[in-house]
Amino acid sequence: MLKPLRENLFIVLQRLLPARLLGRCVYRATRSTRPLLRDLLIGGFTRLYAVDLAEALPPPGGYPSFNAFFTRALRPGARPADPDPATVTSPADGIVQQVGALRGAALLQVKGCDYDAGELLGDAAAATAFHDGLFITIYLAPWNYHRVHMPVAGRIRRMTHVPGELWSVNAVTAARIPRLFSRNERLVCHGVAPWGPFAIVLVGALNVGSVSTAWAGEVLPRRSAGPHHWDYPAAAPGMALGRGDLLGQFNMGSTVVVLLPRGAAGWRAGLAVGEAVKVGATLGRLATP
């Protein structure tokens, strides 16, 4: 009885919170270089979430801000990947929230609740390439490594900012807010490989102060009345990325959704909702290496 009540109160609280103002406050606090505030945030966070720093690659002189700590790099070899180039690997550390096949343009959010790929991408025409294809949704908890890497090799040809709300993206909210991932502010990276197109969606959330990409730097937060596109020609430098290369990073916890076209790949047998994955872990295999 108490659990449903707590969950309902959590949703009500989110409805009442000034999410944008809260996000701006978090943004400023997490980038402060004042030693007292920085050390208080890092120390409190590390104790609260029992963060394992053994695999981190601390910068010379230490972390200048909480955000630098939160988006910390890892030591070389901390996330080994299957050497087989035909494998599809995890783009992030986190929990598999959903995985499977699209039904037409519909992705499963939770049992009995779908959302539309066109809405998610902010582009109905681009979404047709993924009808009846594959998707996976990975939730990054606050204690996870928060850099996002390429699950496959390919060239990024377009980046799209889709404005939206800032709901939490944890399991409780996903179960209670319809079309959550297509309602929140998000950054869509459209890629192309010899076997077809792919999309990697970085979904913003409550307290997510920013989203950055390896080629454009900080992109969110951004004010926009509608989707905003950046197109990259085939000759653009730095847009061809290998599997496992850095794609971008989140500030605070959030979610990554990967879309693959029909027939391009198959998910690994046994890959299931609730499984903990890390960057480089094998999620599936391409049909055409």
* Paired residues of 193 in beta bridges: 196
- pTM of structure: 0.92
When divided into structural domains, the chain yields a total of 2
- Does 6 fall in a domain? yes
- Does 81 fall in a domain? no
How high is the pLDDT of residue 199?
98
Query: Do 16 and 121 reside in the same domain of the chain?
Result: no
Query: Do 55 and 178 reside in the same domain of the chain?
Result: no
* Beta carbons of 93 and 279 less than 8 angstroms apart: yes
The four Cα atoms 42, 44, 49, 53 give a dihedral, to 10 degrees, of 40
pLDDT tens digits, 59-78: 888 999 999 999 999 999 99
Nearest to 253 by CA among 190, 217, 211, 283: 211
pLDDT tens digits, 260-271: 999 999 999 999
Q: Which of 21, 40, 70 is the last residue of a domain?
A: 70
Q: Which of 70, 96, 123 is the last residue of a domain?
A: 70
Measured between alpha carbons, how far is residue 177 from residues 15, 71, 138, 174, 199 in Å?
11, 28, 17, 6, 23
How high is the pLDDT of residue 221?
65
Taken in order 26, 32, 34, 35, the sign of the CA dihedral is: positive
DSSP secondary structure letter of residue 8: H
- Does 209 fall in a domain? yes
The residue-averaged pLDDT of 190-207 equals: 92
Distance CA 247, CA 82 (A): 18
Average pLDDT of the chain is 90
Query: Do 253 and 172 reside in the same domain of the chain?
Result: yes
Cβ-based burial of 266 (10 A; exposed 0-12, middle 13-18, buried ≥19): middle
Residue 209 pLDDT > 70, yes or no? no
Nearest to 249 by CA among 208, 285, 213, 209: 213
- Does 277 fall in a domain? yes
Domain with 45 in it: 2-70
The residue-averaged pLDDT of 159-178 equals: 84
Query: Do 241 and 134 reside in the same domain of the chain?
Result: yes
- Ranges of H-type helices in the chain: 2-16, 19-30, 35-49, 66-70, 117-121, 124-127, 171-176, 180-183
Query: Do 115 and 219 reside in the same domain of the chain?
Result: yes
Query: Do 13 and 116 reside in the same domain of the chain?
Result: no
Query: Do 48 and 119 reside in the same domain of the chain?
Result: no
How high is the pLDDT of residue 23?
74
The residue with greater pLDDT, 54 or 6, is: 54
- Does 120 fall in a domain? yes
The set of catalytic residues is 93, 149, 254
Query: Do 53 and 166 reside in the same domain of the chain?
Result: no
DSSP for 183-248?
HB-EEEEEEEETTEEEEEEEE--TT---EEETTTEEEES---SS-EEEE--TT-TT-EE-TT-EEE
Start-to-end C-alpha separation, the chain: 51
The residue-averaged pLDDT of 8-26 equals: 76
Distance CA 287, CA 265 (A): 5
Query: Do 63 and 153 reside in the same domain of the chain?
Result: no
* Beta carbons of 105 and 133 less than 8 angstroms apart: no
The residue with greater pLDDT, 219 or 64, is: 64
> Confidence band (pLDDT; 50, 70, 90) for 180?
confident
- Does 32 fall in a domain? yes
Which region among 19-28, 99-108, 160-169 has the lowest average model confidence (pLDDT)?
A: 19-28
- Does 76 fall in a domain? no
- Does 29 fall in a domain? yes
Query: Do 8 and 120 reside in the same domain of the chain?
Result: no
- Phi, psi (degrees; rounded to nearest 5) at 181: -75, -20
pLDDT tens digits, 122-146: 999 999 999 999 999 999 988 899 9
Q: Which of 70, 97, 113 is the last residue of a domain?
A: 70
Query: Do 93 and 51 reside in the same domain of the chain?
Result: no
How high is the pLDDT of residue 10?
77
* Beta carbons of 91 and 202 less than 8 angstroms apart: no
Measured between alpha carbons, how far is residue 199 from residues 32, 118, 129, 169, 193 in Å?
33, 12, 10, 19, 11
Query: Do 279 and 222 reside in the same domain of the chain?
Result: yes
